[in-house]
Amino acid sequence: MMSRIVQQFAPWLPAHCTAILFLSLKHQITVTTKEDHFKFGMFHLALSKSTPFFLITASRLFTKITLMFKIIPQPDLYNYSMMVSFLIHGVALAVLILMNTIIWIAIAFCGNFGHKVLLRFISLPIPPLSSALVTCIRKFPTAIGILLIGVALATCGGTALLCANLIYFILLSKMYEEYLEQFVFKTAKKISQRLFGKLKSADKPTSDDTAASTSLRNDSHVKKGHEMNNIQFHLPLFLLLILISIINFPCFILWAKAYRLTPSLKPDASLVPALVVLSNLSILWQIKSPKNIQGYKFLSAVLYVAAVICVLYCQGEIYRLNFVITGVFILVTLHQLLGRNVN
């Protein structure tokens, strides 16, 4: 029985993984805080809240509505037990939790390995030029995004997406390094203040000094929180990039087999999704995201609808996930670019 379920319903995993990532991002952006600074939700906590009950129930309800109206496209494979959907959703959730754990371990302990791999790929005759290029990638990630778009046009979209995973991993490791630097600096500052910063009663600080120190503490706290916000915001996007890379991996295999005959794959089914995703990532890598802007409620509602679409229309037809994922990337990028700042 279990082997039959695996054989028949294992192709549903990408759709449910994508739906869970959309729900996790929805939970992250709906987190409210009573503090003065903007705080983004933790990704691992958002994963734990992505339960299948409301999603599967809403999908079944929408299925009944689509059957009543012939204008709406009919969903895929709706004549099955809800227990199958719950089972596949639970497996997808376990896979994402495992992937998130592996990514955190890799970021914490293998970040330098990604830099070495990148240096091997872009090894130039003069070593300082390679290091300068890596620094340029950190400071101006839009440049590497444009380069990846060129790779997609010259070879195939799947190749550029795989390269983008390496770049994204390096950027995440850099964000984690900056967060650790802020954390260690703040911890060392607290220890030094406790050991050597006790003021005598005769040397009481003035009100201006107190206000200045309070302002510095707030700025340090906001900066530290901003680095963690960056990591938590980009983690689900990184996993979405991994998923769309896996979906388009057959195009990369086909291009690799036909490389001796032609350097570029034509026709290339992965080209358009790769161009759209890489264009949006180039912008998201460059700007300081996430921002404390308006419109997160609307974005969360759209993400929930996108999760339902994944379950309804992308279980049997995996290629449709390309359009859903690229649409979410476009929406997130436009929101970060055009959203009004919260006063």
Distance CA 107, CA 122 (A): 21
> What is the predicted pLDDT for the residue at 123?
53
Note the pTM of the prediction, 2 decimals: 0.82
Average predicted confidence (pLDDT) for the chain? 78
Quote the percentage of the chain above a pLDDT of 90. Answer: 21
User: What per-residue string of b and e applies to 273-291 under the rule 16 or more CB within 10 Å gives b?
Assistant: bbbbbbbbbbbbbeeebbb
- Torsion, Cα 70 74 80 84, to 10 degrees, reads -140
Joined together, the tokens standing for residue 113 give 């390995």
**Among 112-116, 184-188, 207-211, which is the least confidently predicted range?**
207-211
> What is the predicted pLDDT for the residue at 45?
85
The most confident of the ranges 36-50, 152-166, 194-208 is 152-166
> What is the predicted pLDDT for the residue at 248?
92
- Torsion, Cα 310 316 322 327, to 10 degrees, reads -30
The string of pLDDT tens digits covering residues 1-10 is 567 777 777 8
Work out the pLDDT band at 171, boundaries 50, 70, 90.
confident
Quote the percentage of the chain above a pLDDT of 70. Answer: 73
Work out the pLDDT band at 122, boundaries 50, 70, 90.
low
The string of pLDDT tens digits covering residues 218-276 is 444 444 455 678 888 999 999 999 999 999 999 999 988 888 888 888 888 889 999 99
- Write out the H or E segment, with its range, that includes residue 61: helix 52-68
Q: Is the pLDDT of residue 90 over 70?
A: yes
> What is the predicted pLDDT for the residue at 221?
46
Q: Is the pLDDT of residue 46 over 80?
A: yes
